[in-house]
A and B are shown apart, each in its own frame.
Chain A
Amino acid sequence: MNFTNFGRYILLLKSVFRRPEKLKIYLKEIAKQMDYVGVGSLGLIAIISTFIGAVMTLQIAFQLVSDFIPKTIIGSVNRDSSILELSPTISAIVLAGKIGSAISSEIGSMRVTEQIDALEIMGINAPGYLILPKIISGITMVPMLVIISMFLSITGGYIGGSVSGAVTPAEYIQGITTDFNPYTITVALVKAFVFGFIITSVPAYEGFYVRGGALEVSQASTRAVVISCISILACDYIVTQLLL
């Protein structure tokens, strides 16, 4: 995203946050988007988080070769990694692929079939009507998904450790309950909030300014996912640097 695009992105966001024409219709649209972003992504996030947690346990156990390090450390490393990094970042990258491409294609298709022009001619603030509900659903539902992901990742670690015998259930539970710092949850939720904004606003921008036809819509969709992923990783670093 060069400076011209960044400027246009900011201007688009300015129009997104204009006063809605009719709040009731926007609320209905927000509920629809929350269902799509939140409930629609729950299964995917659950599967990914559980497996990541399980694999993390096995890999940490594999790397702990010294007898001087207690096995309970597996649980605490898994907990902190899941909360601080894996759940927010991996979930966000997966959601950027699933939701980001859908948002970009939907808005891009509306652009090339003149549906956005139709909204503007009717006197409706098209960026507000199309993008605001998506951003609100992103910044509310992604943190919720991340909370579920954290829980499932830690649970997945428990299952993976118990099934493989890498760590006993008692040691794992002792590990995840020892020296827990609740501030890590705050950091993770701040990340999730920022990622939720990126996942919805960047693809919306890419779709909104598409020119051409089906080929350009698909290219915009790919670009949206790539830019979202890079932005997520960059913001991940910045938020971590600022908050830890």
Chain B
Amino acid sequence: MIEIKDIYKSFSGNDVLQGISGKFEEGVTNLIIGGSGSGKTTLLKCMVGLHQPDSGSVLYDGRDFTPMTYEQRIEVRKEIGMLFQGSALFDSMTVEENIMFPLNMFTDQSRKEKLERVDFCLERVNLAGKNKLFPAELSGGMKKRVGIARAISMNPKYLFCDEPNSGLDPKTSIVIDELIKEITEEYKTTTIVVTHDMNSVMGIGDYILFLHEGKKFWEGSNKEIAHTDIKELNDFVFASRFMKAAKDKF
């Protein structure tokens, strides 16, 4: 479980996060949603330590991450897997080398064991046999799936996904969402997905935290989201005509 308590963050006097708190349970898909500039990616970066919050704390199963030293953070980071918005695969490495990279760095497994793990991860994301391809040879959806394979290669306890559906067609988006949900339930990871994709919200949002202008406006599940009367949330979730019509019907 990951808990965030009263997170504040500002850049050059501009308050991006203002007292965000929340609890993200393991084995369920936790979503952080909000419009562009609402602070969701900044919150994610504060949680994984890419940004240092001005105040507040991030607890990984009770371990306060924010005051940790560099060496202490390394130990927590070994338990983290992350899928980036642009996949962030290493261009100079093949798919196999990308997935094997954290194993090479942090394990003493034999090459055979590592290759078996790579094959397992690739099979898990339905990309078996694509070991020798370079990132430049992959489609957007395949890159995301390799990103997931790399993220799960070390059996992470915590999985972060930064806008996993951005730039993907609706069908591929659903495949990625389902994959994230399956992995979360199968390995009991604490998964946090930052998104503004409404299909993801309705499809996999077990717990949703809605940010607006740097503040937490609402939290709940995808089943509850249709019944709220918070204007900011309704304006965000049901912005399109289609979603409005769907809500009315619902």
Looking across the interface, which residue of chain A has its beta carbon closest to that of B50?
Answer: A117
For A115, what are the chain B residues with a Cβ–Cβ distance below 8 Å?
A: 88-91
Asked if A121 and B90 make an inter-chain contact with CB atoms under 8 angstroms apart, the answer reads no
Asked if B88 and A122 make an inter-chain contact with CB atoms under 8 angstroms apart, the answer reads no
For A110, what are the chain B residues with a Cβ–Cβ distance below 8 Å?
A: 90
CB distance from B166 to the nearest CB of A (A): 12
CB distance from B21 to the nearest CB of A (A): 23
CB distance from A74 to the nearest CB of B (A): 48
Out of B49, B74, B77, B86, name the residue touching A114 (CB < 8 Å): B86
Q: Does B234 contact A (CB under 8 A)?
A: no
How far is it, in angstroms, between the C-alpha of A128 and the C-alpha of B73 when the chains are bound?
16
How far is it, in angstroms, between the C-alpha of A113 and the C-alpha of B90 when the chains are bound?
9
Asked if A21 and B106 make an inter-chain contact with CB atoms under 8 angstroms apart, the answer reads yes
For A21, what are the chain B residues with a Cβ–Cβ distance below 8 Å?
A: 105-106
How far is it, in angstroms, between the C-alpha of A56 and the C-alpha of B75 when the chains are bound?
59
Q: Does B237 contact A (CB under 8 A)?
A: no
Q: Does A123 contact B (CB under 8 A)?
A: yes
How far is it, in angstroms, between the C-alpha of A99 and the C-alpha of B46 when the chains are bound?
35
Looking across the interface, which residue of chain B has its beta carbon closest to that of A116?
Answer: B88
Asked if A25 and B105 make an inter-chain contact with CB atoms under 8 angstroms apart, the answer reads yes
Contacting residues of chain B (206-247) with chain A, CB-CB under 8 angstroms = none
Among A115, A120, A122, which residue has the most Cβ atoms of chain B within 10 A? A122
How far is it, in angstroms, between the C-alpha of A25 and the C-alpha of B103 when the chains are bound?
11
How far is it, in angstroms, between the C-alpha of A118 and the C-alpha of B48 when the chains are bound?
11
For A117, what are the chain B residues with a Cβ–Cβ distance below 8 Å?
A: 50, 84, 88
Asked if B86 and A113 make an inter-chain contact with CB atoms under 8 angstroms apart, the answer reads yes
Asked if B78 and A123 make an inter-chain contact with CB atoms under 8 angstroms apart, the answer reads yes
Asked if B105 and A22 make an inter-chain contact with CB atoms under 8 angstroms apart, the answer reads yes
- For chain B, the bracket of interface size reads 20 to 34
Out of B48, B88, B104, B160, name the residue touching A25 (CB < 8 Å): B104
For B73, what are the chain A residues with a Cβ–Cβ distance below 8 Å?
A: 123
Asked if B82 and A118 make an inter-chain contact with CB atoms under 8 angstroms apart, the answer reads yes
How far is it, in angstroms, between the C-alpha of A121 and the C-alpha of B151 when the chains are bound?
10
For A113, what are the chain B residues with a Cβ–Cβ distance below 8 Å?
A: 86, 88, 91
Q: Does A148 contact B (CB under 8 A)?
A: no
Asked if B82 and A121 make an inter-chain contact with CB atoms under 8 angstroms apart, the answer reads yes
Looking across the interface, which residue of chain B has its beta carbon closest to that of A112?
Answer: B86
Out of A22, A25, A109, A122, name the residue touching B77 (CB < 8 Å): A122
For B48, what are the chain A residues with a Cβ–Cβ distance below 8 Å?
A: 121
Asked if A121 and B50 make an inter-chain contact with CB atoms under 8 angstroms apart, the answer reads yes
For B102, what are the chain A residues with a Cβ–Cβ distance below 8 Å?
A: 122
Q: Does A13 contact B (CB under 8 A)?
A: no
Mask: chain B, 130-143; 1 = CB below 8 Å from A; 0 = not? 00000000000000
Mask: chain A, 115-135; 1 = CB below 8 Å from B; 0 = not? 101101111100000000000
How far is it, in angstroms, between the C-alpha of A98 and the C-alpha of B152 when the chains are bound?
38
How far is it, in angstroms, between the C-alpha of A114 and the C-alpha of B90 when the chains are bound?
10
Give the B-binding residues of A (Cβ under 8 A).
21-22, 25, 109-110, 113-115, 117-118, 120-124
Q: Which 9 A-B pairs have the closest CB atoms?
A: A123-B77, A114-B88, A118-B88, A123-B74, A114-B84, A121-B82, A123-B78, A122-B102, A115-B88
